[in-house]
Amino acid sequence: MNLRTSIIIAVFACTLLLIAGCNNNVEQEMPPKPVETESADAHVIFLRPDLLQRVKTGHPFFADISEKLHVPGQIKVNETKLVQVGASFTGRIVEVYAHLGDNVAAGAKLARMTSPELVQAQLAYLRANSLAVLAERAAIRARQLFTEDVISAAELQRRESESQVSNAELSAARDQLLLLGIDNQAIQDLTRHGQILPSVVITAPRNGIVITRNVTLGQVVQPSDQLFTLADLSELWVVGDVPEYTALFVEQGQHVKIHVPALGDANFDGTIIFVSDIVNPLTRTVAVRTEVDNSERKLKPDMLATVQIDEHARERLVIPEGAVVREHNEDHVFVAQEDGGFELTRVKLDGLVNHLRPVLEGLTPDQLIIVEGAFHLNNERKRKDLE
Q: What is the pLDDT of residues 135-159, one digit of tens each?
A: 999 899 988 888 888 888 888 899 8
In sequence order, the 6+-apart residues with CB closer than 8 A to the CB of 59 are 365, 366, 367, 368, 369
Q: Do 44-65+315-386 and 70-79+232-314 come out as alike in CATH topology? A: no
Evaluate the CA torsion angle 310, 312, 317, 322 in order and state its sign. positive
Residue 41: per-residue pLDDT: 62
Segments making up each domain of the chain, as ranges: 44-65+315-386, 70-79+232-314, 114-196
Tens-digit pLDDT profile for residues 47-101: 777 777 788 999 999 988 776 778 899 999 999 999 999 998 899 999 999 999 9
- DSSP lists the bridge partners of residue 286 as 242
Q: Is 221 left (phi over 0), alpha (psi -120 to 50) or beta?
A: beta
d(CA 348, CA 330): 8
Classified by CATH at the fold level, domain 44-65+315-386 comes out as 2.40.420
**Cα-based distances in Å from 128 to 101, 131, 172, 176:** 43, 5, 9, 12
Distance CA 150, CA 190 (A): 38
pLDDT at position 287 is 93
Q: What is the pLDDT of residue 124?
A: 92
**Confidence category of residue 12, pLDDT binned at 50, 70, 90:** very low
- Spatial strand order in the sheet of 103-104: 82-86, 226-231, 208-213, 103-104
Question: What was the pLDDT predicted at 32?
Answer: 33
pTM for the structure as a whole: 0.59
Give the mean pLDDT of 184-193: 87
Kindly state the average pLDDT of the residues 215-243.
Answer: 92
Average confidence score pLDDT of the chain = 84
Average pLDDT over residues 294-302: 91
pLDDT at 358 over 60: yes
DSSP 8-state secondary structure symbol assigned to residue 215: -
pLDDT at 43: 76
Q: For 258-292, write each residue's pLDDT tens digit.
A: 999 999 888 898 899 999 999 999 999 999 999 99
CA dihedral sign, ordered 12, 18, 21, 27? negative
Give one DSSP letter per residue of 85-104, joined into a string.
Answer: EE-SSSEEEEEE---TT-EE
Q: Are 182 and 82 in contact (CB under 8 A)?
A: no
Question: Closest Cα partner for 233 from 179, 157, 187, 297?
Answer: 297
| Alpha carbons 250 and 73: distance in angstroms, whole number | 15
Output the pLDDT for position 6. 42
Q: What span, in angstroms and rounded, lies between the C-alpha atoms of 168 and 34? A: 113
Specify whether the CB–CB gap between 227 and 112 falls below 8 A. no
Distances (CA, A) of 166 to 119, 146, 170, 177, 180: 21, 21, 6, 17, 21
The residues, ordered by sequence, that sit 6+ positions from 314 with a Cβ below 8 Å of its Cβ are 64, 65, 66, 249
Average pLDDT over residues 240-254: 86
Please report which confidence band the pLDDT of residue 231 belongs to, taking 50, 70 and 90 as the band edges: very high
**Domain 70-79+232-314 coded CATH 2.60.40.10:** no
